[in-house]
């Protein structure tokens, strides 16, 4: 149980275009999902906390107008990288917890490898 | 500001050995601490979650301990196997309203057959 599905697993796009990444909790409802970014051989950096039915909470230094987050339902959050540039190339991962109050482990998607050419 | 450190950054041991991975955190006011495994190009798999009130958790050949007073957690892997080769990450979750989770940089483990 507690499966988080992330799609697509990889995407290549041209500079200036926008890319949408989906994160779905398949067998549980998640009022909160998290989006991370990971550079090669580095750890995960929390980008934002996605809240169902309300605006996302962005970490310091993360541009909210560039990384649009929508949490339309209790099982789906999307991250849209707008006007992507080569420096946005990275590994993006989402996570969610099936429990309340974060007593339950976080479950992660398999990540999306974004390459901007 | 919470900082999570993992030492060593990389570790290579022969198959069958028992090993310990270390994780330290600067702010002891954590809600929980979680250990993850990450295979190359993949997401994270949760291994063990230790609540702040707990001292350790066990799952199969894995045992994780937590000492909040010293700001340390260890992941013990018994009878290591080549399939254990991966990057192991620890993450501390704080009490802030944003429920921020801070990851260590990971330990890349390689088990030699």
Q: Do B44 and A44 touch (CB under 8 A)?
A: yes
Whether B62 contacts chain A with CB within 8 A = no
Res B94: pLDDT: 77
Q: What is the pLDDT of residue A101?
A: 55
Using an 8 Å Cβ cutoff, are B46 and A99 in contact? no
Write the residue in B89, B93, B102 that is nearest to A102 by C-beta.
Answer: B93
Quick check: B41 and A103 CB within 8 A? no
pLDDT score of A100 more than 60: no
Cα–Cα distance, B93 to A58 (Å, whole number) = 17
Nearest to B46 among A32, A91, A105 (CB): A105
Residue B51: is it exposed, middle or buried by C-beta count within 10 angstroms (0-12/13-18/19+)? middle
Confidence of residue A30 (pLDDT cuts 50, 70, 90): confident
pLDDT digit string (tens) for chain B, length 113 residues:
788 999 999 999 999 999 999 999 998 888 889 999 999 888 888 899 999 999 999 999 999 999 999 999 999 999 999 999 999 999 998 765 445 688 999 999 999 99
Q: Looking at residue A1, what is its pLDDT?
A: 65
pLDDT at B101: 80
Of B32, B42, B46, the CB nearest to A111: B42
Strands B107-112 and B10-14: parallel
Task: Name the phi and psi angles at A83, rounded to 5.
Answer: 45, 60
Angle (CA) A17 A20 A23, round 5°: 165
- The answer to whether the beta carbons of residues B72 and B24 sit under 8 Å apart is yes
A39, pLDDT greater than 80: yes
CB contact under 8 A, A43 and B104: yes
pLDDT score of B93? 84
DSSP helix, strand, coil percent of chain A (3-state; round to 5): 5, 50, 45
Asked if the model's pLDDT at residue A66 lies above 90, the reply is yes
């Amino acid at each position: 149980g507690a499966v988080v599905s992330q799609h697509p697993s990889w995407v290549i796009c041209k500079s200036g275009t926008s890319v949408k990444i989906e994160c779905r909790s398949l067998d549980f409802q998640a009022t909160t999902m998290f989006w991370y970014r990971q550079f090669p051989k580095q750890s995960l950096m929390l980008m934002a906390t996605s809240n169902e039915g309300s605006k996302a909470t962005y970490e310091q230094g993360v541009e909210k107008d560039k990384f649009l987050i929508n949490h339309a339902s209790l099982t789906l959050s999307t991250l849209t990288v707008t006007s992507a540039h080569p420096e946005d190339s990275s590994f993006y991962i989402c996570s969610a917890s099936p429990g309340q109050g974060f007593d339950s482990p976080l479950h992660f998607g398999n990540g999306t490898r974004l390459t901007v050419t | 500001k919470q900082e999570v450190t993992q030492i060593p950054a990389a570790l290579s041991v022969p198959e069958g050995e028992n090993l310990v991975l270390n994780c330290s955190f600067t702010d002891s006011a954590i809600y929980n601490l979680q250990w993850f495994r990450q295979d190359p190009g993949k997401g994270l798999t949760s291994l063990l979650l230790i609540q702040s009130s707990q001292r350790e958790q066990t799952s199969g050949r894995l045992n994780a301990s937590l000492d909040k007073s010293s700001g340390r957690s260890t992941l013990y892997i018994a009878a290591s196997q080549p399939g254990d080769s991966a990057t192991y990450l620890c993450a501390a979750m704080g009490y802030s309203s944003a429920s921020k989770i801070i990851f260590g940089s990971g330990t890349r483990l390689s088990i030699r057959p």
